[in-house]
Amino acid sequence: MVFDVAVVHHSFVRRVGLKKYMHRAYVFSMSMENLTNQLGALTLALADEQNLIVTAIAGANVSASALVVVLGLYPGETIRDAAQVLSLSHSATVRLVDQLVEKGLVERMTGQDRREVQLRLTRRGKLVRQQLLKARADLFARALSRLTAAELRVAETLVGTMLATITEDEVHADRICRFCDEEACGDCPVEHALDDPSGLPTGAR
């Protein structure tokens, strides 16, 4: 059966009355504005707190801290790879790597292509990475601590759907996940957004 949206909409307005319909539309609009405002405040607050935590642990800026996490998952990344994930210029990435090498967190290696230097974490860098991931997980666990088990399942689906919605391409996906503990993310909605035309995580289909 095919429905004419305009007819259904007109029938609904006539049934509930124009005044009630306008009120409902207004309430929905205000609810959406409230939700977007609160979502913005939440993401900003969590990002601010995360940045304070990771910079304190790594003793370096946010981008450098992110690179420590990335190199734990992808040892052998090049300066060019790192610059792309961090959305930095080549020269800025070189300076950032210099800082991490000086702190004993990263070391340079000569790759198969001798024109490019590969990067990997030192033993100390691996320990710092573990501390970064744990502190980050603890932060978000605290934010979720008042939700019930049922609410957590709903939140997982909603957050996954939003992540899939904003993912643009593979480079953007890497940037989104640059602080992620991928071992903890079995069904990644960002990966689904790249692999599945629907762009939805399993729980949202």
Domains of the chain by range and CATH? 1-30 (no CATH), 60-145 (1.10.10.10), 147-205 (no CATH)
Tell me which of 26-35, 167-176, 186-195 is least confident. 26-35
Residue range 92-117: average pLDDT?
Answer: 90
> What pLDDT shows up at residue 21?
53
Closest-CA residue to 144 (of 132, 159, 133, 162) = 159
Q: Answer whether residue 205 shows pLDDT above 50.
A: no
User: What's the pLDDT score for residue 3?
Assistant: 43
Can you tell me the mean pLDDT for 74-96? 95
CB atoms inside a 10 Å sphere around CB 29: 10
Residue 115 has pLDDT above 70, yes or no: yes
pLDDT tops 70 at residue 191: yes
43-73 tens-digit pLDDT:
999 999 999 999 999 999 999 999 999 999 9
Q: What is the pTM of this model?
A: 0.78
Say if strands 117-121 and 77-78 run parallel, antiparallel, or are unpaired. antiparallel
Q: Residue 110: pLDDT band by 50, 70, 90 thresholds?
A: confident
Instruction: Report pLDDT for 184.
Output: 87
- Identify the pLDDT of residue 9: 52
Report which of 62, 46, 72, 49 is spatially closest to residue 183, judged by C-alpha positions.
72
Q: In this predicted model, what pLDDT tens digit does every residue of 174-184 receive, in sequence order? A: 999 999 998 88
CA pseudo-torsion sign 168, 173, 175, 176: positive
Q: Are 85 and 175 in contact (CB under 8 A)?
A: yes
CB within 8 Å of 191: residues ≥ 6 apart: 173
Q: How far apart are CA 174 and CA 88, in angstroms?
A: 13
Contact 80, 133 (CB under 8 A): no
Q: What are phi and psi of 154, to 5 degrees?
A: -65, -45
Would you tell me how many other CB atoms lie within 10 Å of the CB of residue 119? 25
Cβ pair 194, 170 in contact under 8 A:
yes
